[in-house]
Amino acid sequence: MAVAISGVVAVVLGVGGALLLFWGLNAVVERLPKAQEELLKPYVFIGPAMAVVGVFLLYPSILTVWYSFQTRIGTPNQEFTLNNYVYLFTSSELRDSFINNALWILVVPAGAVAIGLLVAVLADRLRPTSEKIAKSLIFMPMAISFVGASTIWLFMYAWRPEGVDQFGLITAIATGLGAFPSEPIIQNTSFRLNSFALMAVMIWLQAGFAMVLLSAAIKNVPGDTIEAARIDGASELQIFWRVTVPQIRSTIVVVTTTILILVLKVFDIPRVMTSGNFNTNVIANVYYDLAFTFGDRGRASVVVVALIVLTLPFMYINIKRFREQEAMR
C-alpha cells in the first residue's frame, strides 16, 4: 500500500513538477526584452528533455567508451589499458556469443518477416471480421514480456525421461512421432538445435509486428496494378512476387532492420531459458555477467562499445531517412 501511495506521489510530483518548471522558466523568460525572449524560449522548451537524455544516455555513452580503456575501475589503481580490447577480439566466450548473435540475426528477422508476410497476404482475402480475429491472434504475443514468453516456451519444451507421459507439447509430439529426444531440446547442442528453439520464441513474439506493418503496406498497393497483372494472365504467386513485393520493399526493409536491432541486443530469452548455457550465450548476456556478476566494468564496457559500433549503421540510416523526410516536408 505504501508502495502504491509513493507511486501516486511520484506521478503528481513528476507531472506537477515538470509543469511548474516550464511555467516558471517561461515566466522568467517572458520578463526579458522581446529579442532575448524569442532567442531563449526554444531552449527553455527543449531544455528539460535535452537534460534528461544528456544525463541518462549521452553522458553514459561517453563514460562507457572511456571505461573501455580503463582497468580496475573505481579503485585507486584505475589506469589506462588496451587489455579490454584484447579481450574483445580474443575471448572464445565472446566469439561464441557473437556467432550466436549472428545466427539470431540471420534467422529471426527472416522468419518473422516470412510469417508476417504470409499471414498479411492470406488474411487480406478474408472477410473483415475473420481478418481482424486472425490478425489479433498473431499479434497478441507482442503484448507478452520476453520473460513471460520464455516461461510459456519452456513449458512447451518441457521434457521428462523416456517411458513416462510427456507434458511439454513439443516433446510429446516428437515422442508421438516416434522420435523421442534423449535430452531436453534446450540442452541439445547438435546443429545448435537449442539456439533455434530459443529463436522460435522471438519469431513467435515478433511475427505479429511484421504482419501489422506489412499488412498496412499491402493494403496500400494500388488495386489496378494487381488487376492489370491478372488480366495479363499472371498467376497469384507471380502477382505476389513481381507486383506486390516490389511495391512494399521499403516496409520489408524497415521491419527487417527493426527486428534485427532488437535481436542484436537480445537478453531476456537466453537469460531465462538457458542462462546462456549449452552454447546458447549471446553478447548482451555476456555483458550482464561481466558487469553485474563479475563486476568487471572495463570488459563489460568494451562489449557495449562493440554493440554501439554494430548499431551505428542503423543510426546512420535512421538519420538519413529523417533528413530525407524533412527535405520533403
Partner 1 sequence: MSTTAPAPAPDATKEEPALKPSKDEGDGSSWVAKLTLLFVCVLFTIPTFGLLISSFRDPQAIRQTGWWTVITGGETFSLDNYTTVLNAGMGESFVNSLTVAIPATVIPIMAAAFAAYAFAWMDFKGREFLFVIFVGLLVVPLQVALIPLTRLYNTVGINNDFVKLWLAHTGFGMPLAVYILRNYIGSLPREIIESAKVDGASHFATFWRLILPLSVPALAAFAIFQFLWTWNDYLVALVFMTSGAEVVTVTLAELVGSRGQDWHLLTAGAFISMVVPLIVFFALQRFFVRGLTAGSVKG
Residues 302-321 that bind partner 1 (CB under 8 A): 303-304, 307-308, 311, 314-315, 318-319, 321
Cell of 60: 553514459
Q: Does 254 bind partner 1 (CB under 8 A)?
A: yes
Q: Does 162 bind partner 1 (CB under 8 A)?
A: no
How far apart CA 213 and CA 117 sit, in angstroms, is 9
Cell of 233: 494472365
CB of 287 to partner 1, least distance (A): 6
225 Cβ contact partners less than 8 Å away, ≥ 6 residues apart: 243, 247
User: Quick one: which of 28, 32, 36, 55 contacts partner 1 (CB under 8 A)?
Assistant: 55
Q: Does 59 bind partner 1 (CB under 8 A)?
A: yes
CB of 289 to partner 1, least distance (A): 12
Closest to partner 1 by CB, 198 or 213: 213
For residues 111-130, which are near partner 1 according to CB under 8 A?
A: 115, 118-119, 122-126, 128
User: Quick one: which of 28, 162, 169, 242 contacts partner 1 (CB under 8 A)?
Assistant: 169
How far apart CA 123 and CA 138 sit, in angstroms, is 11
CB of 198 to partner 1, least distance (A): 14
Largest CA distance in the chain: 86
Q: Does 299 bind partner 1 (CB under 8 A)?
A: no
CB of 46 to partner 1, least distance (A): 4
User: Quick one: which of 103, 110, 158, 193 contacts partner 1 (CB under 8 A)?
Assistant: 158
Cell of 302: 568494451
Pick the stretch among 84-92, 101-109, 188-196, 213-221 that binds partner 1 (CB under 8 A): 213-221
User: Quick one: which of 230, 245, 256, 279 contacts partner 1 (CB under 8 A)?
Assistant: 230
Q: Does 138 bind partner 1 (CB under 8 A)?
A: yes
For residues 81-110, which are near partner 1 according to CB under 8 A?
A: none
CB 180 within 8 A of CB 162: yes
How far apart CA 243 and CA 247 sit, in angstroms, is 7
Separation in Å, CA 189 to CA 103, 193, 218, 278, 282:
14, 6, 39, 6, 15
Question: How does 246-282 read in b/e, with b if 16+ C-beta sit within 10 Å?
Answer: eebeebbeebbebbbbbbbebbbbbbbbbebebebbb
User: Quick one: which of 28, 137, 162, 241 contacts partner 1 (CB under 8 A)?
Assistant: 137
Closest to partner 1 by CB, 151 or 189: 151
Burial of 324 (0-12, 13-18, 19+ CB in 10 A): exposed
User: Quick one: which of 28, 32, 52, 86 contacts partner 1 (CB under 8 A)?
Assistant: 52
Q: Does 220 bind partner 1 (CB under 8 A)?
A: yes
